[in-house]
Chains A and B, each alone.
Chain A
Amino acid sequence: MKDALTATDPRETAFEEHVSADGQVEPKDWMPEAYRKTLVRQISQHAHSEIIGMQPEGNWITRAPSLRRKVALIAKVQDEAGHGLYLYSAAETLGASRDDMVDALLEGKAKYSSIFNYPTPTWADIGAIGWLVDGAAITNQVPLCRTSYGPYARAMVRVCKEESFHQRQGYEIMLQLARGTDAQKKMAQEALNRWWWPCLMMFGPPDHDSPNSARSMAWKIKRHSNDELRQRFVDQTVPQAEFLGLSIPDPDLKWNEERGHYDFGTPPWDEFMEVVKGNGPCNRQRLNARRKAHDDGAWVREAALAHAEKRRERAEAASQAA
């Protein structure tokens, strides 16, 4: 009995070989339970992040400074809703129930990216989100286009195609503010100051504090470590900030000739942990808004089903009469 429990399942060995040779896994393939669970957790958290992520920007739709900015922002927020839907259906292919995932979010049991628990007090925050938050999301998501689980990888390909516009519209906002009046430039700088550190923390804790990373990397769910991705983001973003004439709020930031990378300071991880625990500036507000939207939409979900049923009955009656 003991042997049966401890011996490795030959299917597991075959699976490990398959993924380590960059093989893809499709929904009905055999997979270790832990692989399935890890994916459901990661994909549903990713979906929740897209959905909650609509709020900080949605907050500015009615106050966008021009029609051009307004249509762009509406389109971006709509894209984020779409990303959430791609991801929920990818998680469903693993046998997760959409209702359970949504309930977990509404009940505050599921995590989503901490970045969306920060407020957007000025229009410049919308620029900073597109440039930095979507920029960090792209850095995270591009390698996920090659993640080992097929439906997740395909969802990421769609997402990445759409993200590029998100980042560009954000950078354009920053560029316009940075070239504007002193007050506008100050507004842009302050937004960068607010978002810089939270964005660096989007990549998750440092590698030595990220216990599950190694397994996710072995399964090719994750293709690069948190620290690698963070470095990549810093290296890409610093020149973009320089172009804007804005300064990154990190006194330790400097080019390291030897490494060929920027050195940078340590993000405020204590603050990060507080936000993860639910004590960020907007955690309660975000969840309450989501719950309200869900409850307010209940009648629509029910009415659509009732309407579909009525139409089905009518069609049936008509075909019997014919």
Chain B
Amino acid sequence: MSKQHWPLWEVFVRGKNGLAHKHAGSIRAADGRMALENARDLYTRRGEGASLWVVPAEAIIASAPEDKGELFDPADDKVYRHPTFYEIPDDVGHM
């Protein structure tokens, strides 16, 4: 028998309104509808979910760990983006 895989889906769960969807794990399913049903059964059996996203795993474009330096370096030397860079006398109070 030929081997045909059900594709891989990444599952994101919103715990309740007001929270962002968060990656919960992955699942295999033949199509999107089945992926939603399987994700419901696998990741929200105890009321953990108010909303689900399933995304084909191959549709995710990820940064490569080895590019971490180049990719995030530019943020490293911009201390002026942080509030503590600015000197405000204590007398001004909380700002």
Contacts and interface: CB of A to CB of B under 8 A. Distances in A.
Contacts of B66: 30
B72 to A, nearest CB: 15
Given A85-B42, A301-B6, A305-B6, A28 B64 contact: yes
13 contacts: A26-B65, A75-B45, A82-B41, A85-B27, A89-B8, A89-B25, A89-B27, A304-B6, A304-B31, A304-B34, A305-B6, A307-B31, A311-B31
Interface string B59-80: 0001011100000000000000
Interface size on B, as a range, is 20 to 34
A86 interface: yes
Interface of A: 26, 28-30, 75, 78-79, 82, 85-86, 89, 92, 98-99, 154-155, 158, 162, 298, 301-302, 304-305, 307-308, 311-312
B26 A304 contact: no
Interface in B1-55: 1, 3-6, 8, 25-31, 34, 41-42, 45-46
A79 B30 CA distance: 22
A86 B1 CA distance: 26
B45 A79 contact: yes
**B interface majority secondary structure:** loop
B8 A92 contact: yes
B1, B30, B46 interface centre (most CB from chain A within 10 Å): B30
A263 B88 CA distance: 65
A28 B62 contact: yes
Contacts of B34: 304, 308
Contacts of A78: 45
A140 B50 CA distance: 32
Interface of B: 1, 3-6, 8, 25-31, 34, 41-42, 45-46, 62, 64-66
Contacts, number: 51
A28 B64 CA distance: 7
Given A28-B65, A30-B65, A82-B45, A89 B5 contact: no
A286 B41 CA distance: 25
A158 B6 CA distance: 24
A298 B31 contact: no
A82 B28 contact: no
A307 B30 contact: yes
B5 A99 contact: yes
Given A82-B42, A89-B26, A308 B4 contact: no
**Top 6 A-B pairs ranked by shortest CB distance?**
A308-B31, A304-B30, A308-B30, A89-B26, A29-B65, A305-B30
A154 B25 contact: yes
A99 B2 CA distance: 12
B31 to A, nearest CB: 4
Given A75-B45, A99-B3, A308-B30, 12 more contacts: A28-B62, A30-B65, A30-B66, A86-B42, A98-B5, A155-B25, A158-B25, A298-B1, A301-B4, A305-B30, A311-B31, A312-B31
Nearest to B4: A305
Contacts of A89: 8, 25-28
Contacts of B4: 301-302, 305
B71 to A, nearest CB: 13
Contacts of A301: 4, 6
B30 A92 contact: no
A27 to B, nearest CB: 9
A153 to B, nearest CB: 12
